[in-house]
Amino acid sequence: MVNRRLKSSVGKKIFVSVIILIILVLLTDLVILPWWVNREETKVPNVVGLRENEAIALLEENDLNPILSDTTFNESYPKGTIVLQRPDQGSVVKVGRRIYLFISGGEPTVVVPLLKGKSVRYAKFALERIGLKLGNVDQIPSNSPKNMIFDQEFVEGTPIKKGQTVSISVSSGVETGEIFVPDLIGKSLLEAGKLLADSLLKVGKINYQISFSLLPNTIIDQYPSKDTKLNPGDPVDLFVTKSSDIQIKNEIEEK
């Protein structure tokens, strides 16, 4: 008896579901589809190149539904103008159709990195990596270490267009005098002393470094470098070769 009632209840539910489905099909076929098919059609106007508000107004005048889709960088269109529309201009669509609009963000920009305190090589690489170029490199005397960037054309964080150049100022060291430092590299310590004395300069700190290929007391580096300007009596530090303990021992044994 219970099973018979359950079967009867299930049968009624199935019957009701079938009736509802038939009604929905009939509504779609007799009402919704005819309404959709018989809707008035219109031609999509061209809004590419128009300002956002102008494009929206024109589409609404043609009974279309403008939808702002996305912003894209484009050098050919000013910022805030339409660069693309879907469907395209000239398409015949139903009244009320959605028209997707893509807005120009203008030319692509990047943020200038921090270059102060860096080397020229680092600056060139850092700029090229984000689509910028290294501009003028001005060598200017300063209190900053030599060859260090102490100023840059655009402050860190400034947004500028891709492909633009960024000029920098690089320290050439402290130059306050009128005397040019002579080139001492490759000279002997004695020769270097004479050259400095002739230039009204003097030998500063001598830093000895072992060398297996150069004669002892050969200048291998100097600070400040050649052509730096100093005042009379200013010192020039020298880096000078010396023999290793093994070389000295061999020389003694040979004697």
**pLDDT at 203 (0 to 100):** 95
What are phi and psi for residue 2, nearest 5 degrees? Answer: -65, -40
Same topology, domains 109-171 and 179-254? Answer is yes
Could you tell me which CATH class the domain 41-104 is placed in? alpha beta
**pLDDT at 48 (0 to 100):** 94
Half-sphere exposure of 25 (CA within 13 A, CB side): 6
- Pick one of 3.40.50.1000, 3.40.50.2000, 3.30.10.20, 3.30.56.10 as the CATH number of 109-171: 3.30.10.20
Q: Is 213 helix (H, G, I), strand (E, B) or coil?
A: coil
Q: Looking at this protein, which amino acid is placed at residue 173? A: G
**pLDDT at 19 (0 to 100):** 76
Contact status, residue 93 vs residue 42, Cβ threshold 8 Å: yes
The DSSP symbol for 29 reads I
Tokens of 250: 């061999």
**pLDDT at 246 (0 to 100):** 46
Tell me which H or E stretch contains 104: strand 98-104
Place of tokens 């300007």: 229
Q: Looking at this protein, which amino acid is placed at residue 3? A: N
Q: pTM for the full model?
A: 0.43
Per-residue pLDDT tens, the chain, 255 aa: give them: 545 555 556 566 676 676 777 777 666 666 555 555 555 888 999 999 999 999 999 999 999 999 998 888 877 888 899 999 999 998 998 898 999 999 998 888 899 999 999 999 999 999 999 999 999 998 887 777 888 999 999 999 999 988 899 999 998 776 667 889 999 999 999 999 999 999 999 999 998 988 888 899 999 988 888 888 888 888 999 999 987 654 444 544 454
Q: Is the peptide bond before 224 cis (omega within 30 degrees of 0)?
A: yes
In order of 69, 214, 252, the CA distances from 249 in angstroms are 83, 17, 5
Place of tokens 């070769």: 241
Architecture of domain 179-254: 2-Layer Sandwich (3.30)
Contact status, residue 207 vs residue 237, Cβ threshold 8 Å: yes
Rounded to 5°, angle at Cα 145 from 140 and 147: 60
Q: Domain boundaries in the chain?
A: 41-104, 109-171, 179-254
